[in-house]
Structure 1
Amino acid sequence: MGPVSVLPKPQSISTWEGDLAKMTHLQAGLSPDTIEKARLELNENPDVLHQDIQQVRDMIITRPDIGFLRTDDAFILRFLRARKFHQADAFRLLAQYFQYRQLNLDMFKNFKADDPGIKRALIDGFPGVLENRDHYGRKILLLFAANWDQSRNSFTDILRAILLSLEVLIEDPELQINGFILIIDWSNFSFKQASKLTPSILKLAIEGLQDSFPARFGGVHFVNQPWYIHALYTLIKPFLKDKTRKRIFLHGNNLNSLHQLIHPEFLPSEFGGTLPPYDMGTWARTLLGPDYSDENDYTHTSYNAMYVKHTCSNLERECSPKPMKRSQSVVEAGTLKHEEKGENENTQPLLALD
């Protein structure tokens, strides 16, 4: 038996060159694995990519009541990816994106990181954003609910900070395809704090994230949730799509079930992971600049993500820890097996953001 050749067959090289030639500038910079994932999971076809975009753009004339402030190819593409290239659904999401902003003008007035309300929320860790992605290439966002100081931050400003952060992150085409994960730690979140989560503000958040933003949310994970967080489900259920109800998982205070979905090597120690404790100032430093302080005035608009892309890793290495309320989660060492269905009611899905 002769030596085994590791060179690709001529046909394989030809196929690879053909795929490369078909790739449009809108896919430039994507890894081959991500391009293949977009094809398989999102129905993205480079042969008709520009036609797909144009067909969505042609629908704009049907909604003269909405001001479509941005309609370039790259912008429309993220809506197609968020709706798996169903053009009508992508246009509906595009219309809802701008309509939501028209209906909530105060939320998007001075919509940048140096707005006082947004800045306070960012500095307080709303949201947290991990530097590394998970094993599926998804960006992990963190919310430590107990750190909501209601005398300092309104819920609306926290929502604005989250939406601004997503605007920055969604500029990355890899994240348009791979999506996001959200982990909410409810440790020490009081009943008094929960009482401020009224149906109207919860509806505002769901409309802004579920119905009006072009992101793929692969899961929303609750840890250390008290009983009254379960009760909030009855408030938000009328606002949720059927599909949406399948992707929030309640893990309680044992994180083994969380680790079945997000590997510990991608998580900070607060969630039983192997990474150092999360520094809540990390993402604020990224958006506000390396010299940020409570008094600085650094402007970062929602569509200018280049600064973030090139400085994020350096800034996070330079960060010093900021005190925070720690998770009370516990993980049994060495036990990451799946639990039997029905064994732990806290792992049942409750809610998801599509």
Structure 2
Amino acid sequence: MRPVGPREDDAVVAASEPTSPPYVCTLPEDARLCAEKELGEDADKREELIREVQEWLKREAAYLRARTDDLSVLKFLRGCKFDRVATQTKLRNFYEMRAKVPEWYSKRDPELPEVQEMLKMGTFLPLLDKNDRGQQVVLIRAAVHDPRKHQQNDLFKTSNMLVDLMVHEDELISVYGVVAIVDLKGVSLGHALQMTPSIIWKAVHAWQDCYPVRIKSMNFINAPSYVDVVLNVFRKFMTKKMAKRILVHGYNIQSLHKVVSPEILPKEYGGTKGKLEELIGYWKKVAMEKREWFIAEEKYKADI
């Protein structure tokens, strides 16, 4: 139940939140112009809107234990095209989900065996180069795990850990957005049975209503014809705008290359940018180096 007033430990959390300097735009010129044109970012009004949202977060501090630094708030404003009310709604959704879905947002230590398994398999891999539009491309290997041994929730937990890190460390993502490649190679009935309507709803809700990231397209590859049965469940929970961004390429890698250049893809996907094992090793190393950050992040959530 939502508390009606501040508590002593809330005051401690608020007091311990580091004070950050005011935001100063250091975006490259093309990114700054993109933010103005596509997101409606106005340098003259940006600071005022950031302060308004921060004041709202202060009033909500007994309920939302949120990051309140300028850049974190600005990323949510960008994700909502500077609509203050929509930004507040997305912030509430974001921190509530972190509390309501502990199977994804708690015990996020990369040293845990179940997380190690996902990292070693490379279930979620941001590519190291952006596409020609400046967008971050992420490779989601949705069927690489064994459904008889591995939990779907561990896949989502590990994926969301890397999403959080990616968004935290790369400001450009808040401007240009993300393109997802969902590889269904090896998909089986066991994988399909793991994707319950509840898990599908949580996945769609997270990307669509919680994260300050605009999904520009979701590209399904190595997809058998019957995958539409599962995708129709996804579409049921999506807005029409999001549903239209689902692209199914089947087994046609050339079709994918029309969306994502092979110049930034691993060799295994018809690309020229290294091998998959190198990308997996890179993100496993990064996750381990950021262990303390992942553990510290768990305190940011709603008090429900």
Shorter-chain TM-score category?
0.7 to 0.9
How do 1:97-176 residues align onto structure 2 when only pairs under 5 Å count? 97-171=94-168, 172-176=170-174
Cα gap change, 1:227 to 1:194, in 2 (>3 Å): same
Cα gap change, 1:278 to 1:131, in 2 (>3 Å): same
How do 1:286-297 residues align onto structure 2 when only pairs under 5 Å count? 286-289=286-289
Task: Name the residue aligned to 1:66.
Answer: 63
Q: Partner letter of residue 299 of structure 1?
A: R
Could you tell me how far apart the structure 2 residues matched to 1:132 and 1:237 are?
29
Larger Rg, first or second structure (1 or 2): 1
Cα gap change, 1:174 to 1:269, in 2 (>3 Å): same
Cα gap change, 1:62 to 1:247, in 2 (>3 Å): farther
| Deviation digits for residues 194-238 of structure 1 (CA, Å, limit 9, x no counterpart) | 222111111121122221111122111001101231111232233
Task: Name the residue aligned to 1:52.
Answer: 49
| Deviation digits for residues 48-94 of structure 1 (CA, Å, limit 9, x no counterpart) | 21101122233347768832332221111110011111111111110
The Cα shift of 1:102 comes to: 1.9
Candidates 176, 199, 202, aligned match of 1:201: 199
The Cα shift of 1:153 comes to: 2.7
Structure 2 stretches of 5 or more lacking a match?
Answer: 1-20, 298-304
| Deviation digits for residues 299-343 of structure 1 (CA, Å, limit 9, x no counterpart) | 2424989xxxxxxxxxxxxxxxxxxxxxxxxxxxxxxxxxxxxxx
Query: Contact 2:144–2:185 (CA<8 Å) still a contact in 1?
Result: no
Query: Contact 1:179–1:217 (CA<8 Å) still a contact in 2?
Result: yes
Structure 1 stretches of 5 or more lacking a match?
Answer: 1-23, 290-297, 306-354
| Deviation digits for residues 251-300 of structure 1 (CA, Å, limit 9, x no counterpart) | 111123222222221222332223233223331122114xxxxxxxx724
Query: Contact 1:186–1:224 (CA<8 Å) still a contact in 2?
Result: yes
Could you tell me how far apart the structure 2 residues matched to 1:206 and 1:62 are?
29
Identity %: 26
Task: Name the residue aligned to 1:94.
Answer: 91
Could you tell me how far apart the structure 1 residues matched to 2:144 and 2:52 are?
45
How do 1:127-276 residues align onto structure 2 when only pairs under 5 Å count? 127-171=124-168, 172-276=170-274
How do 1:331-346 residues align onto structure 2 when only pairs under 5 Å count? none
Query: Contact 2:57–2:64 (CA<8 Å) still a contact in 1?
Result: no
Q: Comparing both chains, which one has the higher relative contact order based on Cα–Cα distances under 8 Å and sequence gaps of 6 or more?
A: 2
Aligned CA RMSD, in angstroms, stands at: 2.4
Query: Contact 2:35–2:175 (CA<8 Å) still a contact in 1?
Result: yes
SS state of the match for residue 135, structure 1? coil
Query: Contact 1:134–1:262 (CA<8 Å) still a contact in 2?
Result: yes
Could you tell me how far apart the structure 2 residues matched to 1:200 and 1:143 are?
20
Q: Partner letter of residue 257 of structure 1?
A: S
Query: Contact 1:126–1:143 (CA<8 Å) still a contact in 2?
Result: yes
Task: Name the residue aligned to 1:78.
Answer: 75
Query: Contact 2:266–2:272 (CA<8 Å) still a contact in 1?
Result: yes
Query: Contact 1:112–1:301 (CA<8 Å) still a contact in 2?
Result: no
Could you tell me how far apart the structure 1 residues matched to 2:291 and 2:83 are?
36
Q: Partner letter of residue 78 of structure 1?
A: K
The Cα shift of 1:152 comes to: 3.8
Could you tell me how far apart the structure 2 residues matched to 1:71 and 1:200 are?
31
SS state of the match for residue 287, structure 2? helix
The Cα shift of 1:170 comes to: 0.7
Could you tell me how far apart the structure 2 residues matched to 1:55 and 1:155 are?
39
Q: Scaled by the length of structure 1, what TM-score is found?
A: 0.71
Query: Contact 2:107–2:295 (CA<8 Å) still a contact in 1?
Result: no
SS state of the match for residue 97, structure 1? helix
How do 1:314-333 residues align onto structure 2 when only pairs under 5 Å count? none
Task: Name the residue aligned to 1:283.
Answer: 283
Could you tell me how far apart the structure 2 residues matched to 1:165 and 1:228 are?
29
